[in-house]
Chain A
């Protein structure tokens, strides 16, 4: 019995000794942990580049508005509108070929008799030609104005987008076609594109905004070309100019209308808490049809100074003036004054309040009141 116990004890001791010999020291253990961490990180990195799922990105933005406006006939408009709900989908096919898309629901409901729309505002494939030049094909936002390409609600002041870019440029404006983008020098970038043109009509008084075809079986008899040059050579400053040529703004349907040229220039100057945005845009339409009602010239501008009190709160004022029939002496000029505040509880979330007042030469359709909004992006 005693011999058995001694034998077992000896075997146990030998086993413990063996285990101790196999156990790494604290230094060795630390090295093992570090090696394992490196392997984990390397596997994570490999997964990112090899997995299709990690090459696909999702983003979006949205905004809801409350408008309480009264016109000069005493009619009051009160409405709550989920103005936009937008999803971005992107995918990297390779390091040099990628897809970007933007799917939007406007005004919450779409369909027959509904006030909203489902719109595909961007859907293009972009190719890197070299490190400084890309080519894209598909549906893309046209490079014109301040808001047309960057219009997430937390990036601008005012509940509604400004009426000059809306009615003159006209934002948001997208087209199907092809575009080259790139940089040169240290601070210049450019865009050159050929894309679907406008298709407006005399029934719509040749209003530019009515001519957007939105790449929905768009008439492509007469294309358009757009070029933009942008300078961003100092912090907080952007200077840009766009020229666009339309071969025929009625796609040949109206013999009294013809080609058109858009000129647009803007400046964004940010200095500490102060920012100034200024934009001018003007259309020149050929043809006796537009000239007969003064629509041969459609132009406008706005000035928007703002002041950022801190990271969360900013104040702004804006003066807007535009005219879609500026080519004759009719009382078609419109002015709008806005003042308001943005509150950002998070950089990607914004609450907005502004007051607006309109002053139209025609004396009608002037809307005055308050707008509230909430928006986000991710």
Chain B
């Protein structure tokens, strides 16, 4: 009898949690860009990572960037970046908007790790708003972490720093 109740409980939990989302796509890149640029997404541009840029990017990420170039979207003072970084085992896809050398928006678009899903929440991502780059290529603000999600938090900090650096390298 107790086992039957336990089985029903588990079944209800599966049904209930099926309506939520931890791993998976939270927002597509197209939707993210459409929201930022009010349905008039500019064509993508390319920033090549050569010479000092390649080295600085590797310093920020603590590893080489997996490509020779980065795509971005730009309109006026706004630049948007869709970047991947691994927390512990799987890449996290993040959309970042920089406005006038400061972060305006950062969103987790796709989360593939088995732990650290809390970084998608606004209470975490909102901490990055208005963050800027210091002379040493670090964020100029403190980000409160999430216990048990240390590696995902650090991946987000690296991507925010990278977006600010890349924004400083594009020509307007």
Contacts and interface: CB of A to CB of B under 8 A. Distances in A.
B17 A233 contact: no
A132 B114 contact: no
Interface residues of A, number: 44
Contacts of B171: none
B148 A187 contact: no
B127 A235 contact: yes
Interface string A179-200: 0101111110000100000000
A52 interface: no
Given A133-B13, A184-B13, A236 B145 contact: yes
A211 interface: no
A236 B146 contact: yes
Interface in A312-358: 346-347
A362 interface: no
Interface stretch (A15-23, A110-118, A169-177, A265-273): A265-273
Nearest to A128: B23
A180 B10 contact: yes
A238 B17 contact: no
A193 B122 CA distance: 31
Q: Counting chain A CB atoms within 10 Å of each CB, which of B22, B67, B88, B150 scores highest?
A: B22
Interface of A is mostly: strand
A271 B148 CA distance: 16
Interface residues of B, number: 37
Contact of A44 (B66, B88, B147): B66
A223 to B, nearest CB: 13
Interface string B119-155: 0010110010000000000100011111111100010
B89 interface: yes
27 contacts: A34-B46, A90-B89, A126-B114, A129-B14, A131-B18, A132-B17, A132-B23, A133-B17, A134-B114, A146-B147, A149-B148, A155-B150, A182-B13, A182-B22, A183-B17, A186-B121, A232-B149, A233-B121, A235-B123, A235-B124, A235-B144, A235-B146, A236-B145, A236-B147, A237-B147, A270-B144, A272-B144
A232 B146 contact: yes
Interface of A: 34, 37, 41, 44, 57, 59, 90, 98, 126, 128-134, 146, 149-150, 155, 180, 182-187, 192, 230, 232-238, 268, 270-273, 311, 346-347
Contacts of B150: 150, 155
Contacts of B144: 235-236, 270-272
Nearest to B153: A235
A90 B14 CA distance: 26
A232 B118 contact: yes
A180 B14 CA distance: 10
A131 B146 contact: no
Nearest to A192: B10
Q: Counting chain B CB atoms within 10 Å of each CB, which of A41, A131, A271 scores highest?
A: A131
A238 B14 contact: no
A236 B145 CA distance: 5
Given A131-B20, A187-B118, 12 more contacts: A128-B23, A132-B17, A132-B18, A132-B20, A150-B150, A182-B13, A192-B10, A232-B147, A232-B149, A236-B146, A271-B144, A272-B142
